[in-house]
Chain A
Amino acid sequence: MSRFGDWLNERFPAREMMREHMTEYYAPKNFNIFYYTGSLLLLMIFLQLISGFLLMAHYVPTSQGAFDSVQGIMYDTRWGWLIRYMHVDGVSLIFILLYLHIGRGMLYGSYRKPRELLWIIGYLIYIMMMGEAFFGYVLPFGNLSYWAGQVITSIIHAVPFVGPGLTTLARGGPGVGSATLQRFLALHAVLWFLIIAALIVMHVLALHQVGSNNPDGIEIKQHKGPDGHPVDGIPFHPYYTVKDIFGVGVWLIIFAAIIFYAPTMHGVFLERTTFFRANPMVALPDVTPPWYLAPYYAMLRAIPNKYFGIALMGLAISLPFFLPWLDRNPVRSARYRPVYRMMIIIMAITFFTLAWVGEQPPLPKYFIIERLGAVIYVGFYLLLPIISSIEPTRKVPERVQS
């Protein structure tokens, strides 16, 4: 290569990293549409960083100034609306990608040995993203922000002994106000984001240590050619880089269409109640979380007792960590496991039904749906060890199908 290249590589392992993670990282050749989600998540997180940085240049973290500063971005700042819509719609799109990404992992058994740690790091990112979204949600200080901040910090209140102290610590005072906004901004933009970024790096490193799974759930490393490379593998660069660039193009078309033509997505991506200024005197009839957190809220509400409700929600959020050990079938991919495949489909329908019902007012007619949903959700994980050890499987092919 060039002399500059040589100079650089004697001092920094650029070429080596390129080889290890791009040109000599062999990925299965049979990736399907779900496998775009990883690179798209990287893209979206990067875009959030940029738009978030620009928002922060105008944002005022005080209870008096926050709402107006955000409206100032929308009304008076050149391209301010573009930046804010990017950031706000970006969140919902990230969660859509996360659910596809996680669903893909479940469908093809990507959480199974040797990818347990990859799965756990990934799921940790998801949990961190929920926190990140919550902190960000409070910042514009619309009335929904205010009440969401109140309600969620009051959940910590339920922790035995230290709960009340922790709630005060989280709020920076007895109620949600300027101190809350300042610490939430610090968490949202600095600490939480750095942890997420670090976890993402670990996620990709862990992936490259064990190699990608694929829709057939077959280990490509078991069939190596004379050159020592998997026969069903292709170098990530150039094959998947060009493919992912195409995916990025399609994704940006969707993203731009939303920003330019439906930036609130009918009140789903940017909710109606966020357009009223925070007001401690005007309680909202029901403080429902955004759609991507609503399934857990539905499960919280499914039990009338506050403590048991919180326990159920905690259980629901932590169960996926154990998936690698709950699944006992030797076959990975749902392609060759009709029963498991059906379970995943029911699980996905349940999850999004819970998201819908979590947005509804707390009426008795919805309780039954919330409870049924919670039972199916938890049941999936509890029954999996039994069902996966007795379920019938189809014959798994030797080599990947393309």
Chain B
Amino acid sequence: MSECPANLKANPLLSRWFRLDERPLMGVRSGKVELGQGATTALAMIAATELGLELDQIDIMPADTLHGPDEGYTAGSFSIEHGGAAMRWAAAQVRELAAQAAASVLGTTADQLVVEAGQFRRQGHNEGVTYWQLRDRIDLEVSALDLPAPVLHGGTIDGKGMQRPDLVGKLSGAGFIQDMSLPDLLHGRVLRPDHPQDRLLACDEAAAQALDGVVAVVRDGHFAGVVARTDEIALSALALLRRSATWQRQADLPPDDGLNGWMDQASPLSTCFLDEAQPGPSPAIRHAARYSRPFIAHASIGPACALAQWHDGRLQVWSHSQGIYPLRRQLARTFGLDHDHVNVTHAHGAGCYGHNGADDVALDAALLARAVKAPVMCLWTRADELSWSPFGAAMRMELSAGLDEAGQIVAWNHAVWSPTHLARPGFGDGVNLLAAGDLAQPHARPPLADAPRPQGGGDRNAVPLYDVGARKITHHLLPQGPLRSSALRALGAHGNVFAIESFMDELAALAGRDPLEFRLAHLSEPRGRAVIEAVAKAAHWNPDDEGGEGHGRGLGFARYKNLGAYCAVIAEVEVAETVRLVKVTAAVDAGEVIHRDGLLNQIEGGIIQAASWTLKEAAGWTQDGFKTRSWADYPILNFSEIPAIDIVLVTHNGAPSLGGGECAAGPVAAAIGNAIAHALGVRVRDMPLTPERITQAIHA
């Protein structure tokens, strides 16, 4: 790397990234936040490596819009790819600044020095000088752009036996935003309807206000909430509001047939973004199929939470948002404030897999806190968490292709219909925070858009990596569906890869070829071939295994976003009354590995979550509103359903680091679908792949 990374260029002041404490600690602050996958530990390890410090000499400071670097969102596996590159460069520059200071103290030149555990020494000498002794001689108020390109060390840290500092605390006590306490903290709850199209008309505010311990009942347009001395009192007051509430239904919902039938009535914004269709001889065999996935819930284990406090017209918010800077701008816009009158400080939440309710509850907390003179913690209920957090978008994929006489693919069509996968606050003109549209002075939502290509949203991974002749790929962006959708881990890649890789198996069967051989015969990309070959070897792929009698194995492959990590998966299933996922083997090439154990943990988690989506999960609705109001309505994979997992890391030295948390989602879905087809001889093309759907397919 010879050029200053983009995130550092945008935030070049080194003091935004580092603070040299009086304690023998180096404060490190990234703009990337901890979402539960250990990103801040990986970033701290990068900093430690470049600075010549031990990990326990690093103090990971919370991301904060007043003091830290603006690195946008922590999303899309970018924390290490982008945030890591910036951190590495900046840390190396700080080391070089310190080395120069050390050299003048030690009467030598910087190139004669080594640094270990924070101490600079001349090679072969014992005495030296530490960062902290050099504190007054190191000026961090300098721009990275005014310093020369540093020498970068890099390298993998195994991390086995290494403990994430944040986890050590959480696993013995407090550690999450829900655990925060501030002097005079009050507790807030907000009233949300049971139907996505309902709006609050009236509720008995006086009854709630009369409850002992209620400090304020807040009403602004269709928004209502309570602030109380304790959360229990707030909940009782909320129950009073709910019981007395009258709602206005703005629209009825289309029926939910579980197969995205509602999409037939929606008018899409269609883009055919790749059209190589060339006239040619018509292929010997043509095949077409349609696939689907439903809306999927984030279903965080912890409820959305935020704290807010107003002081002299300034707003301080604590949030587990993925994007504290965009949130700050959206809050400023909602309240008509200057940006620098709003500060958002990040606090850890429960595992976050995309755009959940974190940003919405931050506005809720700010609205409630405005009515009182103290800080307010606002929590969402479980029911709201499961229905008002944005969902991963439903998808429909239609594929068709031809096979020539030699059994090679000659033409490929892929069309995908889906509402947006990216409605994060801060994208587009408008305010995308739930309550903003409910206020007496409402803020409009931004116009309909999806994540732009090349990464894409609904069209993420819609272009196959295979050599398939002329390709035609169309993205039909639908207006908001019956449920509100936004980013969920992997976005459209889960549905598109499920479709492409199921379809590859169907084509292989029509051509009478082994699915593994068929894929390799259509793939020239060397890193893609390498992971497929690695997974085949690790899982002992046998081309002659006929499957059947309820036992099957299937393959799935993709390069995440066609830009990120490569992942190939083989799933083994046993299908009887239920589908038992016996084993998942994955081969992943995520470029340079920073923290091996952390990456493995993320891939494991990604595999299990994707298996859960694929086998069990669907968020639906009825004419009465949301169908998922408690965990009883939304089962996820449980402990006895967990497969054995074997992960092979295919390393690729020198290739830049690519996040690993999302790459398995599509391949896992496809591998399971293909394994079920291999076991039963019939294919289920609509997720979730439930026993009922399998039975239907058998009897169809």
Q: Is B a genuine binding partner of A? A: no
Give the interface of A toward B (CB within 8 A): none
Give the interface of B toward A (CB within 8 A): none
